[in-house]
Amino acid sequence: MAITGDGTAAEGALPLHRGSAANRGPVQAAAMSGAREAESIGYRGPTACAAAGITYRQLDYWARTGLVEPSIRPAYGSGTQRLYSFRDVVVLKIVKRLLDTGVSLQNIRTAVQHLRARGLDDLTRMTLMSDGATVYECTSPDQVVDLLQGGQGVFGIAVGVVWRDVEGALSQLHGERVDTGETLIGKNPHDELARRRNRAG
């Protein structure tokens, strides 16, 4: 299925958000259970940048232009901190990869909209393929092979792999509980700054 710049699916393919998650296996189901728990944790800008491999300047620009906005808490004037969800950070990393491979900003915007529209259950089994002009969504190995044989796929991004990369990076960084604002310390138990924040709160 193709994502085109005008938001329509190319060559009679169904729009991306109509895909089915019916063939989900136990591995994906377990991953999604953990992902739903992760949605109760937010990440500040610097943490999101570190996990996604982008600069703060990119993060700020993408938020201000509406490319990838924080879904938990946007910035309201000076002094407020944006708070990104786990899914936001995954999307940030995918946007970075698409930009690095020369995909147009218009197609990236469309791809982001489709990623946002898909349920969490769909994301880990999705592969995004591109020929540099169009982005395609594949949900099976056969679709990937078909695109490659047709000369349409030059590179691919397995969303499940990006998901695991982000998960691994965030497990060593700091999150913030959405309900209480408590700072959650990553795998480094000696982080005094986070301890002080929790005591002060």
Q: Is residue 10 part of a domain?
A: no
Q: Is residue 7 part of a domain?
A: no
Comparing C-alpha atoms, which of 1, 24, 21, 26 is closest to residue 11? 1
**Side by side, which strands form the sheet with 175-177?**
83-84, 41-44, 175-177, 183-184
Tens digit of each residue's pLDDT (9 = 90 or more) over 65-124: 999 999 999 877 776 789 999 999 999 999 999 999 888 888 899 889 888 888 777 788
Q: Is residue 19 part of a domain?
A: no
What is the per-residue pLDDT for 96? Answer: 95
**Overall domain count for the chain:** 1
Q: What is the pTM of this model?
A: 0.73
Q: Is residue 161 part of a domain?
A: yes
Tens digit of each residue's pLDDT (9 = 90 or more) over 140-179: 888 888 888 876 657 888 899 999 999 999 999 989 988 8
Q: Is residue 148 part of a domain?
A: yes
Cα 196 to the chain's mean position, in Å? 30
* 167-to-64, 80, 107, 112 alpha-carbon distances in Å: 25, 25, 26, 19
Full residue range of the structural domain in which residue 145 is found:
26-200
Contacts of 122 (CB under 8 A, 6+ apart): 19, 21, 139
* pLDDT tier, 131 (very low <50, low <70, confident <90, very high otherwise): confident
CATH code for the domain in which residue 97 is found: 1.10.1660.10
Q: Is residue 3 part of a domain?
A: no
Q: Is residue 4 part of a domain?
A: no
Look at residue 79 and give its three-state secondary structure. Answer: coil
Residue 19 above 80 pLDDT? no
Q: Is residue 20 part of a domain?
A: no
